[in-house]
Amino acid sequence: MNDIFATLESEVRSYSRTWPTTFDRAVGSYLYDLDGTGYLDFFAGAGALNYGHNNPALKEKLLDYIARDGVVHGLDQATKAKAEFLESFNSNVLQPRGLNYKVQFPGPTGTNSVESALKLARKITGRESIINFTNAFHGMTLGSLSVTGNSMKRGGAGIPLVHATPMPYDDYFDGRVPDFLYFERMLEDSGSGLNEPAAVIVETLQGEGGINSSRPEWLRGLYDLCQKHGILMIVDDVQMGCGRTGPFFSFEEAGIQPDIVCLSKSIGGYGMPLAVTLIKPEHDVWEPGEHNGTFRGNNPAFVTASEAFRLYWSDDQLEKSTIAKGERVGQVLEEIAAEHGGAIAKGRGLARGLGFEDTNVAGKVSKAAFDRKLLMETSGPSSEVLKIMPPLTISNEELEKGLAIVRDSVKSVLA
């Protein structure tokens, strides 16, 4: 069966290269291939499976919904499933955090949420330029690609970048230049062409960029700078939201309320496409029809999402266990880094990484881990960071098993 991929699927594929097998089933923290071999998942659909594969409680809701002929394709019609999604999101996620946002359904995936955020920011402010950050990742459509800081992703396609300007992410200058000095100077310099940006778009922790975690005080400083200069702040929480770093929103620790928030990946709960753009009520200046999309209303995903909010966010159990599990992962990664030179433990919550000075190491470790039945990807501009993102619902036993494989795989490569 593997031959069909080589024959018919575009060369653009990536994961089928690192994981040369054909998967058929998936339960909890495991994927199973055609032979029934189980692989422990330290990847979780790049953050789309925070509650694990085929989560039984969500599956039950989904099967019930299909069995009673619930609306499947809903455009942006009013449906019961959408009403329940909004109600559950508001009562379990927004209200307890004192957050007040209008919810837009911009299209099925993360990049759709980013596109609507960029478009809306430009509409609100009447300005064009967007500030992004070094090593950022925001998606593969032309607008989101323009604010993505990895030129390889442009595929030589010559994306117009005139209105997107990268600024240094937290720690870019290793503390040698005060935070935001460069950005502030550009804002004050009317000749820079940067003095009136519409918005900044930022990830609080860069997942694809190499598990680069910004400090809450840096984020807070960025927020204050935006407030001072009338710049809108867009937080792209597509990968780090829905509890990946512990709290539901990855910006909670910084105590800020961004103007626009992008969510996707785990928002649907079950691994089905769903995206939302959260907009401060005073910024909801959209007119009907200004941002359409056929797959805006994924009703089965609304059903699983509503249940996921109720199950996992009506109390702080998941947040606490994610932080505890994340600390355990961090501890083991520190130990591994101390055992081998040229490695550094990175990240927070259950978005962790092991960065290697030698850019060939992470890829080799990922392959060694695959041979040991553990799925892990790499990230960073040179794929130099081993990325560790299990489902948040992983058991402690499974976590320990996976960490032992990480340790063993690193050793096998660096010995």
Contact residues for ligand PMP, defined by CB under 6 A: 46, 109-111, 114, 137-139, 203, 207-208, 236, 238-239, 264
Minimal distance, residue 143 CB to ligand PMP, in Å: 11
Closer by beta carbon to ligand PMP, 314 or else 382: 382
Distance between CA atoms of 332 and 343, rounded to whole angstroms? 13
Instruction: Quote the least distance from Cβ 91 to ligand PMP, whole Å.
Output: 26
Min dist. Cβ of residue 48 to ligand PMP (A)? 8
Nearest Cα neighbor of 384 from 211, 129, 202, 178 is 211
Q: How far is CA 80 from CA 26, 86, 273, 299, 339, in A?
A: 29, 10, 19, 9, 55
Pairing of strands 351-356, 343-348: antiparallel
Indicate the residue among 262 and 279 with the shorter CB distance to ligand PMP.
262
What the block records as the tokens of 247 is: 């709290």
Which of residues 41 and 398 has its CB atom nearest to ligand PMP in the complex? 41
> 268 vs 300, which CB is nearer to ligand PMP?
268
Q: Residue with CB nearest ligand PMP?
A: 110
Residue 169's closest CA among 196, 119, 141, 132? Answer: 132
Task: Identify any residues that bridge with 334 across adjacent strands, giving them in sequence order.
Answer: none
Side-chain-side CA neighbours of 12 within 13 Å: the count stands at 6
How far apart are the C-alpha atoms of 109 and 301, rounded to whole Å?
12
In 10 A of CB 42, how many CB atoms?
Answer: 28
Let me know how long the chain is: 415
- Minimum distance between the CB of residue 34 and ligand PMP, rounded to whole angstroms? 26
Q: Which is nearer to ligand PMP, 203 or 398 (CB)?
A: 203
Residue given tokens 């062409």 in the structure block = 193
Closer of 46 and 410 to ligand PMP (Cβ): 46
- Measured from the CB of residue 210, what is the shortest distance to ligand PMP in angstroms? 12
For residue 171 the two structure tokens come to: 């720690």
> Is the Cβ of residue 110 or residue 243 nearer to ligand PMP in the bound state?
110
User: Measured from the CB of residue 113, what is the shortest distance to ligand PMP in angstroms?
Assistant: 7
CA 49 to chain centre: 11
Cβ 148 to ligand PMP shortest distance, Å: 8
Tell me which DSSP letter residue 153 carries.
Answer: G
